[in-house]
Amino acid sequence: MTTHAEAPVANRNATGRSRGRWFTQVGWRHLVGALAVAFSLFPILFVISAALNPLGTLSSTELLPTGASFENFANLFSETAFAHWFLNSLLLAGVASFASIFLSALAAYAFSRMRFAGRRVGLLTLLLIQMFPQFLAIVAIFLIFTTVTDLWPSIGFNTPWGLFLLYMGGALGANTWLMKGFFDTLPKELDESATMDGASHAQVFFRIMLPLVAPILAVTGLLAFIGSINEFILANVFLTNTNSKTLAVGMFGLVAGERNNNFGIFAAGTLLTAIPTVLVFQLLQRYIVSGLTSGAVKG
């Protein structure tokens, strides 16, 4: 810290006093920050330590790494279908979050910029439907997809497409309200002037509105991506073949029965799963800070 250099006088007493002042003004903030960092990091440190632990069991894992062996990572790939799960999860979450953001952006544009009969009812219906937990309908979903699997096996059980379609069902409910809030913050004059210049409604949407909300779309997309990666309940019913599982389903299977012995492998998998999300998060955190609240103020 450069505070000492900024201390006004070189007098010994003054230095002591300014050190005290430094603490009441800035220092305690660093103390709070350091405590928070410790709280945030210790479970993650534990996971790293478990992943590097050559014994690979929960009981032998300490908070700080006791060894540095990559055996768990090697076992992860040789003993489980982790590469398949990883790819399934990335593809499914990537495609599903992109498509669902696009669908809800379309709907949010209509709700924000157009006035039509049924607009208010539509918005309230979305809000209501969103409150019904989708996975409680899992019995019905199971019965529907049993028929679908008979008719079209390529979008039935154990296929990423079937699960993708199912996630699309939740697309409108989850994000339309949030995104309508973002569209509402853009001044109406922007698209009205474009319309006067002869732009069609599609051009207004794709050329003017979408570029302006792009950073916020990226944030919403990221949250949707993380949501799909973590989705377990529906995927668990849907994907039973080892190779078609997603990370959440596959890795839950690793520690569901054998809690102690597979812990090292599980921790290694957790670290690898975290890499894509943490990277994207660090890139987008600036937008998260400004984006979520600006949309939230308007609803």
Of 59-98, binders to other proteins (CB under 8 A) are 59, 61-63
Dist CA 247 CA 214 (whole Å): 29
Among the listed residues 105, 91, 135, the one whose alpha carbon sits nearest the alpha carbon of residue 229: 91
Closest approach of Cβ 139 to other proteins, in Å? 5
Residue 169 CB coordination number (10 Å): 13
Q: Does residue 5 interact with other proteins by CB under 8 A? A: no
296 binding other proteins? (CB under 8 A): yes
Report yes or no: 229 and 235 within 8 Å, Cβ to Cβ. Answer: no
Contact 233, 252 (CB under 8 A): no
The minimum distance between CB 9 and other proteins, in angstroms, equals 19
Q: Which of 176, 167, 168, 40 is nearest to 106 (CA)?
A: 176
Among 13, 133, 189, 257, binds other proteins (CB under 8 A): 133
Specify whether the CB–CB gap between 183 and 255 falls below 8 A: no
Nearer to other proteins, 69 or 288 (CB): 288
Of 180-199, binders to other proteins (CB under 8 A) are 184, 192, 195-196, 198-199
Contact criterion met (CB below 8 Å) for 49 and 61: yes
Question: Which residue, among 160, 156, 158, has the nearest Cα to 145 in the 3D structure?
Answer: 156
Least distance between other proteins and beta carbon 190 (Å): 13
Q: How far is the CB of 216 from other proteins (least distance, A)?
A: 12
- Pairwise CA distance, residues 60 & 236, whole Å: 30
Question: Segment 35-64, which members bind other proteins (CB under 8 A)?
Answer: 36-37, 39-41, 43-44, 46-47, 58-59, 61-63
CB of 213 to other proteins, least distance (A): 15
Q: Does 163 bind other proteins (CB under 8 A)?
A: no
Binding residue (CB under 8 A) for other proteins from 168, 186, 210, 212: 168
Q: Tell me which of 13, 68, 121, 189 binds other proteins, using CB under 8 A.
A: 121
Alpha helices in 53-137 (DSSP H): 71-79, 82-113, 119-131
Q: Name the residue nearer to other proteins (CB basis): 10 or 121.
A: 121
Q: Which is nearer to other proteins, 91 or 137 (CB)?
A: 137
Give the Cα separation of 236 and 249 in Å (integer): 6
**Which range touches other proteins (CB under 8 A), out of 13-21, 75-83, 141-149, 208-216?**
141-149
By CB under 8 A, the residues from 211 to 240 that bind other proteins are: 226, 229-230, 232-233, 240
